[in-house]
Chain A
Amino acid sequence: MTMTDTPTPLNRLGRLMVDQPLLPLIGLLILLVAILAVLNPGVLSMFWAGNTIKIAIPLAMLAACQTLTMLTGGIDLSVGTAATIAAYLTATLAPMTGVPPAIAIALASAVVIGLVNGFGVAICRVHPLIMTLGTALIATGCLLVYQRYVIATGVLIPDFLIWLGTGRSFGLPNSLVLFIPFAALVIWAQRRSGFGRLLYAIGANEAAARLSGVRVWQVHLTLYTLSSLIAGVTGLLYLGQIKTASLSLALPLDLPSVAAAVIGGTSIFGGRGGFGGTIVGALILTVLTSMLTLMQIPEGGRRILFGLIILAVTALFIRLTERS
């Protein structure tokens, strides 16, 4: 109402961030890398770059779950649990059943978590945040019960997962073999496929989408199942990277995955954003984390910072894109 017709610099920045969200993000990433180089000269190398990419990939994949669910105005806080369960099941079942059945069971469990989420969100209309939090709680309980029966069987981490998680070829991490097709598929799906368009449509205006004949509940059910499946695959990759099966393997990635999607320009209210920005967001967070570690900021400080970043970026997006 108080805005005049001449665009202020802030307005122009807002339009830029909405139209070309990647440009300022890449700028921010370069700025962070430059600061890191000043703080610790000699840190930048091909090895460092490969390492950063390697660490950022599981984060970016979990952030893909957040991006897709956020496009519809949802969120999935059970991804860390789904990934942990998939990894733990694979590692503990492999000595007994062999690798392929173990992976099949692991991914099936992740899909079950997704189906429960989808049922709650799509049919009971529970808020996704509460629903996924609840499923995560129940799933963690199931994992603890399961863990008591498998202590004796030992742990086996499949070789190809270790190759995928920690190996390098030509100086670049092998996990790119999984990630590049994955990212290409997600970006293609969100832009070009009917399912992707439905996600944007529901996020922009659910009532309108429903009136145009979209079966919203089917989209939600598919979406949350897909999200958990992606989380399960990420868990396998992360297992190869960390090389231990623990009960809280991927849980520390839960919060950063939300932060990566939000920083990447995906609106938490739905309808805007995409996976391209999320990838850059994950890289930014990884560089930021290594910077904070370098400055010896404790875990508590990091959490505060992540929380404030989510809040600040969301508030900024609302302020910048507000049309009155």
Chain B
Amino acid sequence: MKRWIEANSWTLGLAVLLAALLLATKLIQPGFGASGLDSLARAALPFALATVGMAIVVLAGGIDLSIAAMMAVASVTGAVLMQGATDLQSVGIVLGVLLLGLAMGAINGFLIVVSKVPDIVVTLAMLFVWQGVALLILNAPGGAAAPWLRALTTGNFPGLDILPRAIVFLAVVTALIWLPIRRSKLGLRLYAIGSDALAAFRSGVPVGQTRVIAYALCGLFAALGGLSVTMGTGIGEPIPGPYLLASVAAVVLGGVVLGGGRGGLLGPILAVFILRTVRMDLTLLSVDPNVAAIVEGTIMVAVVMFGAVLATRGRKT
């Protein structure tokens, strides 16, 4: 038990911090309850999914700057196709968009492995490419979302008032995709190439293939995130939101080391909710939304700076 606590001290600390923040919210706004939690969870959902995708790539020793642009592509593709589609068709469309996400991520990974250009440059270039694709599909916000899809993340879980559906959705999706991978050989390989690609290669890990899979998973979660944007607003959004910096900040705050190999997914998800709760508290304190954006941006940049200092320290010792 003691060892378990020591190994997960960072995640536990984040959980305590989140609980404290929620308590503070309750103090600021005594009426804060099930509906408040629901709107918090719905606002956090795209950020959380983007962060999960980013965390997987960072664990595998990379970074994906094109994540927000991929989300935009998924969002507009889903919204455009779903306009006027029946429920049955929209199920197919959702699956298609998820496959599209996998494909986009795999293209990113493939280009990195084949061109030998560093991941940061390739995904920067692909950021522009995916942005262009999103604009070609839909020039201005529009399209529609299937009603059942919107119901999936709106409101609270039946029978348990306090639990928002968006959180259930996030937990189920992440567990379904990540847990089998984490337990399998592939999960071990992802961590292996993240902590030392050369050592992994010498131990017989197919480094290139594993890297492509990591980026494909990131693309899959980006597609989920894009769909969740469409679910939340009911339309497709071709201009990427501020998900890139937010996801990197949450990954760092969540205890995943930039450079790879160490950390899990629970920490980053908790970190997303911490950042979102701070934002909500600022709104509840009736701070100007633009000022709130500045405060949030400053927190994120400070977190990333702190993470970079830690990473440099870690490398030296």
Residue contact B248 to A315, C-beta cutoff 8 Å? no
Residue contact B134 to A300, C-beta cutoff 8 Å? yes
Residue contact B298 to A138, C-beta cutoff 8 Å? yes
Of the candidate stretches A27-35, A126-134, A205-213, the one touching chain B is A126-134
Residues of B within 8 A of A298 (CB): 135-136, 139
Given contacts A120-B301, A124-B308, A129-B65, contact A307 B294 (CB under 8 A): no
In the complex, what distance in Å separates the CA atom of A293 from the CA atom of B139? 17
Residue contact B297 to A311, C-beta cutoff 8 Å? no
Residues of B within 8 A of A39 (CB): none
Given contacts A126-B305, A126-B308, A129-B120, contact A134 B300 (CB under 8 A): yes
Number of B residues contacting the other chain (C-beta, 8 Å)? 44
Closest to A146 in B: B290
In the complex, what distance in Å separates the CA atom of A190 from the CA atom of B24? 54
Contact of B117 among A141, A255, A308, A318 (CB under 8 A): A318
A interface SS class: helix
Residues of B within 8 A of A301 (CB): 132, 136
Residues of A within 8 A of B311 (CB): 125
Residues of B within 8 A of A163 (CB): none
Contact of A138 among B126, B131, B301 (CB under 8 A): B301
Q: Is A314 interfacial (CB-CB < 8 Å)?
A: yes
B188 to chain A, nearest CB (A): 27
Closest to A307 in B: B128
Given contacts A126-B308, A148-B290, A318-B116, contact A300 B135 (CB under 8 A): yes
Closest to B129 in A: A307
In the complex, what distance in Å separates the CA atom of A302 from the CA atom of B244? 22
Residue contact B288 to A145, C-beta cutoff 8 Å? yes
Residues of A within 8 A of B134 (CB): 300
A262 to chain B, nearest CB (A): 9
Residues of B within 8 A of A258 (CB): 124
A133 to chain B, nearest CB (A): 6
Interface residue range, chain A: 35 or more
Q: Is A5 interfacial (CB-CB < 8 Å)?
A: no
Closest to A306 in B: B128
Contact of A311 among B115, B132, B136, B258 (CB under 8 A): B115
Q: Is B171 interfacial (CB-CB < 8 Å)?
A: no
In the complex, what distance in Å separates the CA atom of A141 from the CA atom of B242? 12
Contact of A304 among B133, B291, B305 (CB under 8 A): B133
Given contacts A127-B308, A304-B129, contact A137 B297 (CB under 8 A): yes
Closest to B244 in A: A133
Q: Is B184 interfacial (CB-CB < 8 Å)?
A: no
In the complex, what distance in Å separates the CA atom of A305 from the CA atom of B125? 10
B172 to chain A, nearest CB (A): 31
* 6 contacting pairs across A/B (C-beta < 8 A): A126-B304, A134-B297, A258-B124, A268-B121, A300-B135, A310-B128
| Additional 5 contacts, C-beta under 8 A, given A299-B132, A310-B128 | A126-B308, A133-B245, A134-B245, A145-B288, A299-B135
Residue ranges of B at the interface with A (Cβ–Cβ < 8 Å): 65, 111, 115-118, 120-122, 124-129, 131-137, 139, 242, 244-245, 248, 258, 288, 290-291, 293-294, 297-298, 300-301, 304-306, 308-309, 311-312
Residue ranges of A at the interface with B (Cβ–Cβ < 8 Å): 120, 124-127, 129-131, 133-135, 137-138, 141-142, 144-145, 148, 255, 258, 268-269, 298-308, 310-311, 314-315, 318
